[in-house]
Structure 1
Amino acid sequence: MSRKKLVRFKENEANPNVVQPGKAIFETIKGNWNEIQFQNDHPLVVELACGRGEFTVGLARNFPHQNFIGVDIKGSRIWKGSSIATAEGISNVGFLRTQIELLDASFAPDEISELWITFPDPFPRDGDEKRRLTSPRFLEMYKPLLKQEGIIHFKTDNTGLFDYTLELFQSREDIDLIGFTHDFYQSEWKDDHFGIQTRYEKMFSDKGEKIKYLKCRFV
């Protein structure tokens, strides 16, 4: 392991905006994010596979009356967003280092108000369907964690993953598809996101890839 990673891991251990195994808070945070981590009753917004946390921190800057949590298993990635939030004094953002498959171990039913799935690995092979973050397996985990009328946002550059997700969501009676677009930056939702981009979104957009987006909720 590189010295840089070791330094980052040590800073994550010290930074109170990072919740991870080995910290006492990791064992007690489920159902208590507002009380323990944020000390307020603002809505919780969670970004899955947040990477370096650009999107999580960007949302937190623009929506100070909501609490944002970026989830990723890579501590060296979330260190970046954690450090930026600390340097800027952004108190309504936190990071959770865990596998997304274990999300329900860190959040209680009805605890999450919005869920962002941003540029996940598409896992294009049919045999990998269950690993896609929009697959039925994951939807059944998200459903009880979201509050009634809670929103799911999904953004991707991958046409195959988007078409798979759109077809699946349209086929489910328990999902209300609020809207979708195959060209986000020409859509009515563009301005709602304040120009916030993940690293991958910027990279793909700069290459001319159209960004796909949908929003839905369970009913």
Structure 2
Amino acid sequence: MGSKNKLKRFKENESFKNVIQPSREEVLKGLSLRGEWHSFFENNNPIILELGCGKGEYSVSLAEKYPDKNFIGVDIKGARFWRGAKTAIEGNLSNVAFLRTQIELIDSCFGEDEISEIWITFPDPQIKYKRTKHRLITRPFLEKYQYILGNDGILHLKTDSEFLHGYLLGLLHEGNHEVLYAHHDIYNSSSPPQEATAIQTFYEKQYLEIGKSITYTKFRIKY
């Protein structure tokens, strides 16, 4: 994407009522919406996050499918989720928003027990050992998620990386967390969960076309 196009999208994001773009300093102080997200949506419906939302297509599709829930796509790359934000506005979807921030600051953006579910869809597996801390499912990240979810909150990891799937299952077993569903190839499962197969991202469709397995894990964190 050219720099001019990026700048144009950044500028347009500023005019979108469904886009929140705080500075890092604002987030570190505690985002003003922290604990107040229901007032942003003007309802008390459950709030669900998609972390590393990319172009926002999954968040928008979830919002279309579940109008009685609120969705927030989180990503640091605003020029990418511009597409999702624009699609949501064009479709008059008032139950989806986008937050531009770093995911390691997620507990400064949302209050304790404020979130009902978290989706992590096709994150970079960060396979190299020196990149371990950047995986979105390390122990420190899980602790942050548990804070904003509480003990009843649900997480979903959907990935084409068998490495990341196995790494997560190891963490969950080690921490005695609750695995609600896990499969290394959901589209070849005898009873695939509808919530995990009903929506497919652009890249997911490409993976399936070349015969790549899609893994899925649904779980709760218990601390």
Fold match, TM over 0.5? yes
Query: Are 1:31 and 2:35 an aligned pair?
Result: yes
Query: Are 1:90 and 2:90 an aligned pair?
Result: no
For normalisation by structure 2, the TM-score amounts to 0.92
Q: Which residue of 2 is the match for residue 55 of structure 1? A: 58
1:65 corresponds to which of 68, 71, 74: 68
1:145 corresponds to which of 148, 157, 162: 148
Counterparts of 1:109-188 in structure 2 under 5 Å?
109-173=112-176, 175-187=177-189, 188=191
Higher strand share: 1
Alpha carbons 2:113, 2:149 under 8 Å: kept: yes
Aligned residues between the structures: 215
Deviation string for 1:38-86 (max 9, x for gaps)?
Answer: 0000000000000001100000000000000000000101100000000
Query: Structure 1 vs Structure 2: percent identity of aligned residues?
Result: 46
Match of 1:31, SS state, is: coil
Q: Which residue of 2 is the match for residue 78 of structure 1? A: 81
Q: Which residue of 2 is the match for residue 14 of structure 1? A: 15
C-alpha distance in 1 between matches for 2:157 and 2:203: 14
Q: CA deviation at 1:194?
A: 5.9
CA RMSD in angstroms comes to 1.6
Q: CA deviation at 1:177?
A: 0.7
Query: Are 1:209 and 2:200 an aligned pair?
Result: no
Deviation string for 1:87-113 (max 9, x for gaps)?
Answer: 000110000000001111110110010
Alpha carbons 2:146, 2:153 under 8 Å: kept: no
C-alpha distance in 2 between matches for 1:13 and 1:192: 32
Q: Post-superposition, which runs of at least 4 consecutive aligned residues in structure 1 deviate over 6 A?
A: none
* Structure 1 pair 42–115 and aligned structure 2 pair: CA distance change class (3 A): same
Q: CA deviation at 1:31?
A: 0.7
Alpha carbons 2:196, 2:216 under 8 Å: kept: no
C-alpha distance in 2 between matches for 1:153 and 1:182: 14
Alpha carbons 1:57, 1:85 under 8 Å: kept: yes
For normalisation by structure 1, the TM-score amounts to 0.93
* Structure 1 pair 125–193 and aligned structure 2 pair: CA distance change class (3 A): closer
Match of 2:151, SS state, is: strand
1:32 maps to amino acid: E
Q: CA deviation at 1:191?
A: 2.3
